[in-house]
Amino acid sequence: MPTEVGTTAAVIAGVILLASLIFGLMPWIWDREPKPEIPEVFIDTFTLGPHAAPLHPYSVEEAHWAMQDHLDCYGTACRARAAAVTVLRETGRMVPAGDDR
């Protein structure tokens, strides 16, 4: 008799767990909203992190700050530093000495 009660309790618990899974979790999975798409403007920033090219051209002051922030980066590998170098060269604030670092 005690084994029948234990078996019955286990079966009832299993049925309750299965029912809660089917009627509780499955509709939630099916009705979930799709993840919003990331606009293409932000993809470069998200994929490359702090070394991504800026979303807008740097001002001269921002270019100076970017050069300080990316002091150890190379202009060929860091898009933020490359954009800052471009702005500073175009405005005459930086004259390259041959090293693009």
Upper half-sphere CA count for residue 9 (Cβ side, 13 Å)? 6
Residue 52: HSE in the Cβ half-sphere, 13 Å Cα cutoff: 13
pLDDT of residue 60: 92
- What pLDDT, on the 0 to 100 scale, is given for residue 37? 63
Give the global pTM.
0.49
Give the model's pLDDT for residue 3.
74
Kindly give the parts of the chain with pLDDT less than 70.
1-2, 26, 28-48, 98-101
Rounded Cα gap, residues 66 and 85, in angstroms: 9
Q: What is the pLDDT of residue 6?
A: 83
- The pLDDT, as a whole number, for residue 19 is 84
Predicted local distance difference test score (pLDDT) of residue 91: 94
Which among 39, 86, 45, 40 is positioned nearest to 63, based on CA atoms? 86
What pLDDT sits at residue 35? 64
Q: Which amino acid belongs to residue 90? A: E
- Note the pLDDT tens digit of each residue in 13-22: 999 988 887 7
